[in-house]
Amino acid sequence: MAVQTRPLPTGRPGPPRPRRRPGRSPLPYLFVAPFFLLFAVFGAYPLLQTLWVSLHDWDRLAGQGEWVGLANFRRLLDDADFLTALFNTLSIFLLSTVPQLLAALAVAWLLDRHLRARTVWRALVLVPQYVSVVAVALVFSQLFGRDYGVVNGALQGLGLIDAPVDWTADTWSSHLAISFMVMWRWTGYNALIYLAAMQAVPRELYESAAIDGASRLLTFRKVTLPAIRPTLLFTVVISTIGGLQLFAEPFLFDQQGNAEGGAEHQFQTLTLMLYKYGFINNDAGYASAVSWVLFLVIAVVAAVNLVLARRPRRP
Amino acid sequence: MAVSAPPTRTRPRPPRAPAGPFRAVPRRVRRLDAAGPLAHLLLAAVTAASVFPLYWSFVVASHDDNSVLAGTTPSLVPGGHLIENIQRVFELSAFWQALGNSFLVAGTTAVSNVLLSSLAGFAFAKLRFRGRDFLLGCVVVTLMVPTQLGVIPLYILVTDLGMYGKLSALIVPALVSAVGVFWMRQAVEENIPDELVEAARVDGAGLLRTYWHVVVPGVRTTATVLGLFTFMFAWNDYFWPLIALPPENGTVQIALNQLAAGYYTDYTLMLAGVVVSALPVLVAFTVLARRIVSGVMAGAVKG
């Protein structure tokens, strides 16, 4: 302590580490125990138990019923509503995530330069992140309202549409509106994450690119993008996990509170279906089957992301 | 993945130091990189879009019902009925109780998250014990587990434990989080020199004393940001309170949604509710904007 009072500027684990002899004191285990205990009881156990429930005829209120094997899963495959919900989930996920991350990249690129009052810009971009999903859904359901909504008003004012659009009525319009809510809430947050990664790119790389006469766009493609690749991958995976589980946005979009996702289930996501069967119809077994299918969908999409991202790895 | 295998994390470039020698070169290049008018214009559009829905809520909440619904292109100028509408929010629903519930849940989880996460973070960053790296890897993996999908057994469990309908159903599962542990481990590693921990040990301080007198003061900044984010997540959460609490004893978000329910939607009332419910979080985050921004960005580079 007398020798050096400040840490080395690296966060890297230095060679000589703490000098307590390993494994002697139980205290370190006690320190990390609360997390593992809570995760085991309220995170891992319920997730695994879902599989058990899905193999039974199980009423949420009456409790465990007969063992039915894979019957709940077989029932899913014959359920047209399930296929609709699967499609809706993937469609809303793509519509909200892809433009969101591209926009975040663009915003980060704009922020990654010499700006006056840069903290103000950054803070403003982050504002949507603080707004609750309920508030977002309420505001946007007003903005996307058929009769008095600002969006219809603006589109009509610009002459782009003749008659007001009933945004909740159709598959595409409802998917677009819901994706808009998700995008609005998350773009700024992802932009700041990208910005942080961009600022860690050594400036000498930009300097030499500038000397070579590379344009800004070319520099972005050849220098910035490869450098922030791990961060890109991270945001893609996290957005995948979140984007495939959307609940509140579609649930609150039509204010019916029935988790049907519209008259023809046109915006019922898998999580809405899970809620409907689990907590409205009290068919916990069937709802758990939906859960596990959604779990597999998330795992598959995340794996596809990883594989796609790994492939063009250059030395 | 950026978060995988943190103990052996190698970064190809020098980490960004908040001050010091790394800055010298960047500053010169930055000049070349000055933002032009077009960049400013685009950013202005982006920030306007970020803020507009909130401004719009405020505008609608400040009109009386009839005037908002009068035309297809509503006015963008605030009216004079904000206070009146907010009063109606409190009269028409159990908003006070919901606010109280939310403050209790969000406050408790924020404090406990900061304490328990920094305790675990201290152990992971500075103490040596068998299985440490494996356990830390587990923390990182749990970040990616979609635990929301276990909601039905979670509901059954909470009911069996007699917590259904009580605030403890919201508090207990959220006392500490993987994100918090991960963040605080980083903060401890970067802000607390090994020498300081060692010195405390030489002085005869036990681990708990070291934690309280060395670690906690040293990671105040990150702890504040973590506390605020935990508060915000608890305040804004909807899915779990919807399931674990009866509607008449809900949180702010539940009460907010009840304003919108019914056969006729009173937008001025509903959006006045939005304004009231968003205010505490917005104020806190505005006051601490600088810290929050740097906290999000610091977490991002590593996370």
In degrees and rounded to multiples of 5, residue B64 shows phi and psi of -90, 155
Report yes or no on A31 lying in a domain: no
Q: Of residues A134 and A115, which shows the higher confidence score?
A: A134
The whole-angstrom separation of Cα B125 and Cα B118 is 10
Task: Give the number of domains in chain A.
Answer: 1
pLDDT of res. B13: 44
Query: Is there a contact between A35 and B178 if contact means CB atoms under 8 Å apart?
Result: yes
For residue B76, the SS3 value is: coil
Task: Give the number of domains in chain B.
Answer: 1
Q: How many CB pairs under 8 A join A and B?
A: 371
Report yes or no on B11 lying in a domain: no
User: Is the minimum CB–CB distance between A49 and chain B shorter than 8 Å?
Assistant: yes
Report yes or no on A147 lying in a domain: yes
Query: Is there a contact between A124 and B50 if contact means CB atoms under 8 Å apart?
Result: yes
Instruction: Kindly calculate the radius of gyration of chain B based on its CA atoms and give it in whole angstroms.
Output: 24
Spans of chain B below 50 pLDDT? 1-31, 72-73, 301-303
Q: How far is A173 from chain B (nearest CA, A)?
A: 19
For the question of an ipTM over 0.95, the answer is no
* CA distances, B137 to each of A295, B5, B143 (Å): 21, 6, 10
**The total number of residues written for chain A in this structure:** 315
What pLDDT digit, counting tens, does each position of A162-173 carry?
888 889 888 999
Q: How far is A172 from chain B (nearest CA, A)?
A: 22
Q: Determine the structural domain holding residue A138 and report its residue range.
A: 73-310
- The CATH number assigned to the domain holding B218 equals 1.10.3720.10
Report yes or no on A21 lying in a domain: no
The whole-angstrom separation of Cα B198 and Cα B228 is 31
In degrees and rounded to multiples of 5, residue A282 shows phi and psi of 60, 20
Residue B294, both tokens? 């740097």
Query: Is there a contact between A188 and B50 if contact means CB atoms under 8 Å apart?
Result: yes
| A25 CA to centre of own chain | 40
Q: How far is B292 from chain A (nearest CA, A)?
A: 8
Q: Which of A52, A148, A203 sits opposite B25 (nearest CB)?
A: A203
In the chain, the amino acid numbered B46 is V
Is pLDDT of A313 > 90? no
**Closest to A271 (Cα-Cα) out of A258, A285, A282, A287:** A287
Long-range CB contacts (within 8 A, 24+) of B253-259: B253/A132, B253/A133, B253/A134, B253/B102, B253/B277, B254/B98, B255/B93, B255/B94, B255/B95, B255/B98, B255/B99, B256/A132, B256/A134, B256/A135, B256/A138, B256/B98, B257/A134, B257/A138, B257/A252, B258/B93, B259/B89, B259/B92, B259/B93
Report yes or no on B149 lying in a domain: yes
Report yes or no on B60 lying in a domain: no
Report yes or no on B20 lying in a domain: no
pLDDT of res. B66: 61
The whole-angstrom separation of Cα A313 and Cα A302 is 18
Q: How far is B135 from chain A (nearest CA, A)?
A: 9
- The CATH number assigned to the domain holding A110 equals 1.10.3720.10
**If you measure CA to CA, which chain B residue comes closest to A155?**
B73
Name the H helices within chain B. Answer: 24-32, 37-61, 65-68, 82-92, 95-126, 132-142, 151-160, 168-171, 178-191, 194-202, 207-210, 216-218, 220-236, 239-244, 252-260, 267-287, 289-302
**Closest to A197 (Cα-Cα) out of B302, B7, B17, B10:** B302
Report yes or no on A142 lying in a domain: yes
What pLDDT digit, counting tens, does each position of A65-91 carry?
889 989 999 999 999 999 999 999 999
Please state, rounded to an integer, the average pLDDT across all residues of chain A.
87
In the chain, the amino acid numbered A109 is W
Q: How buried is residue B100: exposed, middle or buried, by Cβ count under 10 Å (0-12/13-18/19+)?
A: middle
**The total number of residues written for chain B in this structure:** 303
Query: Is there a contact between B274 and A50 if contact means CB atoms under 8 Å apart?
Result: no
Residue B199, both tokens? 């010195």
Report yes or no on B58 lying in a domain: no
Which residues does residue A63 pair with via DSSP β-bridges, in sequence order? A59
Query: Is there a contact between A245 and B9 if contact means CB atoms under 8 Å apart?
Result: no
The whole-angstrom separation of Cα A155 and Cα A176 is 15
Q: What is the pTM of this model?
A: 0.85
Asked if residues B147 and A52 have their Cβ atoms less than 8 Å apart, the reply is no
Report yes or no on A25 lying in a domain: no
Report yes or no on A56 lying in a domain: no
User: Please, which residues have CB within 8 angstroms of residue A83's CB and are 6 or more apart in sequence?
Assistant: none
Q: Please tell me the least confidently modeled range out of A18-32, A177-191, B280-294.
A: A18-32
Q: Which of B26, B39, B190 sits opposite A110 (nearest CB)?
A: B39
Residue A37, both tokens? 């205990």
A174-184 mean pLDDT: 95
Residue B56, both tokens? 């719009």
Instruction: Kindly calculate the radius of gyration of chain A based on its CA atoms and give it in whole angstroms.
Output: 24
Report yes or no on B48 lying in a domain: no
pLDDT of res. B219: 92
Q: Determine the structural domain holding residue B104 and report its residue range.
A: 82-302
| Mutation site for B-interface testing, chosen from A37, A130, A183 by largest number of B Cβ within 10 Å | A130
3-state SS of B210-234 is HHHHHHHHHCHHHHHHHHHHHHHHH
Residue B116, both tokens? 């328990």
Asked if residues B86 and B259 have their Cβ atoms less than 8 Å apart, the reply is no
The whole-angstrom separation of Cα A248 and Cα B132 is 37
Report yes or no on A42 lying in a domain: no
pLDDT of res. A310: 75
**If you measure CA to CA, which chain B residue comes closest to A202?**
B13
Looking at chain A, the whole-number percentage of residues with pLDDT higher than 70 is: 91
Strand locations in chain A, DSSP E? 56-59, 63-67
Residues of B in contact with A34 (CB under 8 A): 116, 119-120, 175-176
In the chain, the amino acid numbered A304 is V
What pLDDT digit, counting tens, does each position of A117-148 carry?
888 999 999 999 999 999 999 888 888 888 77
**Closest to B110 (Cα-Cα) out of B293, B234, B287, B211:** B234
Query: Is there a contact between A22 and B129 if contact means CB atoms under 8 Å apart?
Result: yes
**Closest to A100 (Cα-Cα) out of A227, A238, A219, A201:** A238
Is pLDDT of A256 > 90? no
